[in-house]
Structure 1
Amino acid sequence: MSSAAPTVAELGKVAVLMGGWAAERDVSLKSGAAVLAALQRRGVAVEAVDVGRDILDRLREGGFDRAFIALHGRGGEDGVIQGALDLLQLPYTGSGVLGSAIGMDKVRTKQIWQAMGIPTPGHAVIRRGPLDLADLAAHVGLPMAIKPAREGSTIGISRVDRQEEVAEACAAGFRHDDVLLAERWIQGEEYTVAVLNGRVLPMIRIEPAADFYDYAAKYHSNETQYHCPCGLAPEREQALGELALQAFEAVGATGWGRVDLMIDADGEAWLLEVNTIPGMTDHSLVPMAAAAAGIDFDELVWQILLGSLEGAR
């Protein structure tokens, strides 16, 4: 990327990709609408594109110069649309195929983190078929979380406190994926670290009104509290930010995104997952972190879009 700030004209016509066919379609439409409005206020030539199975034809015919990906979940956050855009030689925001695919797969993410010594809760992989409930409970420990390996926004997640609850939790998870992750439940405080073009933004501490930060708490509840400053000592926050950035880059993620983590009662940090295309709604965390860093929503969207320039990924 050149040192001179690019002009709106140099960015050309931008497609904001939103919607799609994943379970997070509704959230994606809200994110896309917010991004679209921000780019319009900047004077960018921009068009909303609700992504369907005909997306390649629509992008070929649309005369677009680049894409802002506001898709969440499968088909948009897992490397599929990124591969299609690479095929079309159409620059886009966020992570490439590899980082998107790995970041979407919680099992692969944890395997990489474990190999690198990055702290993440103990886990087991569950596939369809006979399941030894006692062995699973003994291996992972109770309580545990059971969740789809390749979904976002806590879709399909269950907290399991007793061995007898495992089967029901697996049934709920299998409605969304053929592979599940059973993960040791970390009791403590939840934090998130936003990353923007190699920069770590101020950490946010999440205080849900319910037992844990589920889909309803993320997108519908007005009782969830977000604390930024997060309350940690500055040197502790800096160290955790550096760890989160290392974890983000370890899976091949680039541009912008978010890393979620827990801090247990003993003060130990445990990284949970990477989100390579976080929400951009009025309940979303990256805009909150950006605001705490003095970056308003329109500037945040602009900086993410600049990541689509050649050589930025």
Structure 2
Amino acid sequence: MKRVAVIYGGWSSERPVSLSSGRQMAEAARQAGYDVVEIDATRDLARQLAEAKPDAVLNGLHGPWGEDGSVQGLLEIMGLPYSHSGVLASALAMDKLKSKAVYRSVGLDVAEDRRVTRAEAAAAHALKPPYVIKPVNEGSSFGVLIVREGTNSPPQELTGDGWRYGDYLMAEEYIPGRELTVAVLGDRALAVTEITTLRDYYDFDAKYAAGGSQHVIPADLPARVTQAAMDASLKAHQALGCRGATRSDFRYDEQKDRLVILETNTQPGMTPTSLVPEQAAYRGMSFVELVAWMIEDASCQR
């Protein structure tokens, strides 16, 4: 019986999401017939893995260290096959500015952006409002600030000691329109989901709180837009060098008929409200089958 270490938790701001994702993946892996060892990752993860002696690692970590190439590098050094993307693809996708450079290189439409320090963004408008401030290396919408049209001053949330998301940020053109997302498994885009929420934007609570958002699958879009989103998600996955499961997020501005890619998630969530399991189910793949697919995909990486 194949022994699988499911690593989750960790110490990033996305720890609560990772705990939920990892525990559910561990249970699904058991149902699929694997010998599962659950590991709440610490900074002594190498020892934890050495003691577990797994045949493969199912990575349920989210955020810095878990999905930015750091843990992936450790697993490479230890010679352990692991799920999801490798070192370089993980690092590229986690860095919003670098991933957008890759998107541009393959002809994908991206929002205008500018790299700024926290001090610069707090002192003066980084772009003409409306625009968005995003940490360069965070997920789950942590630290995202929307500066509305007509706002006189830059976001004051960036001042003081309460800011926890680093000193280097991206100011990005605000793209109005519909929130879309597309999952990729291996070499196949699954579907297009539209996400709606009553909140100001698709923030952490909209993503993970019960009732925080509604997912419409398949999204009610013209066929050509659906195909364009699926093609773009696969192109982004391949251009970044990703493997396994990813999920790319888009905004579609109907008035301008403009489809803009925002980012690619190399460690998409696996919680009750997560989008990748929904799209897999829409394609006839149960959650247990999805987890087993990720484990076997990891095992092929030796």
Q: TM-score by structure 2 length?
A: 0.94
Maintained 8 Å contact 1:16/1:47: yes
Aligned to 1:184: 173
Aligned to 1:304: 294
Amino acid of the residue matched to residue 157 of structure 1?
V
Q: C-alpha separation between the residues in 2 aligned to 1:21 and 1:285? A: 23
Aligned to 1:166: 154
Maintained 8 Å contact 2:121/2:154: no
Aligned to 1:276: 266
Maintained 8 Å contact 1:17/1:49: yes
Maintained 8 Å contact 2:116/2:126: no
Q: CA deviation at 1:311?
A: 4.1
Q: C-alpha separation between the residues in 2 aligned to 1:149 and 1:287? A: 27
CA 1:217/1:109 → structure 2, altered by over 3 Å: closer, same or farther? same
Q: C-alpha separation between the residues in 1 aligned to 2:100 and 2:115? A: 11
Provide Cα deviations, 1:111-161, integer angstroms capped at 9, x if missing partner: 222233210100111124445955623xxx311110110000000111111
Maintained 8 Å contact 1:18/1:49: yes
Q: Pick from 136, 143, 147: which aligns with 1:156? A: 143
Maintained 8 Å contact 1:102/1:252: no
Q: Pick from 203, 213, 238: which aligns with 1:214? A: 203
Q: CA deviation at 1:164?
A: 3.8
Structure 1, 125-134 or 43-52: larger mean CA deviation: 125-134
Aligned to 1:196: 185
Please state whether the residue corresponding to 1:166 is helix, strand or coil: coil
Q: C-alpha separation between the residues in 2 aligned to 1:177 and 1:290? A: 35
Provide Cα deviations, 1:264-296, integer angstroms capped at 9, x if missing partner: 132210000010001100010101111111111
Aligned to 2:71: 81
Please state whether the residue corresponding to 1:180 is helix, strand or coil: strand
Amino acid of the residue matched to residue 84 of structure 1?
L
Amino acid of the residue matched to residue 291 of structure 1?
A
Q: C-alpha separation between the residues in 1 aligned to 2:42 and 2:9? A: 8
Aligned to 1:6: none
Aligned to 1:55: 45
Amino acid of the residue matched to residue 45 of structure 1?
D
**Are 1:229 and 2:218 an aligned pair?**
yes
Provide Cα deviations, 1:80-113, integer angstroms capped at 9, x if missing partner: 0000000000000000000000111101111222
Q: C-alpha separation between the residues in 2 aligned to 1:147 and 1:301? A: 31
Q: C-alpha separation between the residues in 2 aligned to 1:263 and 1:19? A: 33
Q: C-alpha separation between the residues in 2 aligned to 1:280 and 1:147? A: 23
Q: C-alpha separation between the residues in 2 aligned to 1:130 and 1:43? A: 53
Amino acid of the residue matched to residue 142 of structure 1?
P
Q: C-alpha separation between the residues in 2 aligned to 1:276 and 1:131? A: 28
Structure 1, 230-239 or 74-83: larger mean CA deviation: 230-239
**Are 1:260 and 2:249 an aligned pair?**
yes
Please state whether the residue corresponding to 2:132 is helix, strand or coil: strand
Q: What's the C-alpha RMSD, in Å, of the aligned pairs?
A: 1.8
Q: C-alpha separation between the residues in 2 aligned to 1:113 and 1:223? A: 30
Paired residue total: 299
Aligned to 2:34: 44
CA 1:22/1:261 → structure 2, altered by over 3 Å: closer, same or farther? same
Q: C-alpha separation between the residues in 2 aligned to 1:179 and 1:61? A: 38
Q: C-alpha separation between the residues in 1 aligned to 2:68 and 2:98? A: 12
Maintained 8 Å contact 1:78/1:101: yes
Aligned to 1:64: 54
* Structure 1 residues without counterparts, runs of 5 or longer: 1-8
Amino acid of the residue matched to residue 143 of structure 1?
P
Amino acid of the residue matched to residue 45 of structure 2?
I
Q: C-alpha separation between the residues in 2 aligned to 1:240 and 1:25? A: 30
CA 1:58/1:131 → structure 2, altered by over 3 Å: closer, same or farther? closer
* Structure 2 residues without counterparts, runs of 5 or longer: none
Structure 1, 69-78 or 217-226: larger mean CA deviation: 217-226
Amino acid of the residue matched to residue 158 of structure 2?
C
Q: CA deviation at 1:236?
A: 2.7
Maintained 8 Å contact 1:193/1:201: yes
Maintained 8 Å contact 1:15/1:47: yes
Q: TM-score by structure 1 length?
A: 0.91
Q: C-alpha separation between the residues in 2 aligned to 1:178 and 1:133? A: 13
Amino acid of the residue matched to residue 48 of structure 1?
E
Aligned to 1:5: none
Q: C-alpha separation between the residues in 1 aligned to 2:151 and 2:124? A: 7
Q: Pick from 131, 147, 156: which aligns with 1:144? A: 131
Maintained 8 Å contact 1:146/1:169: no
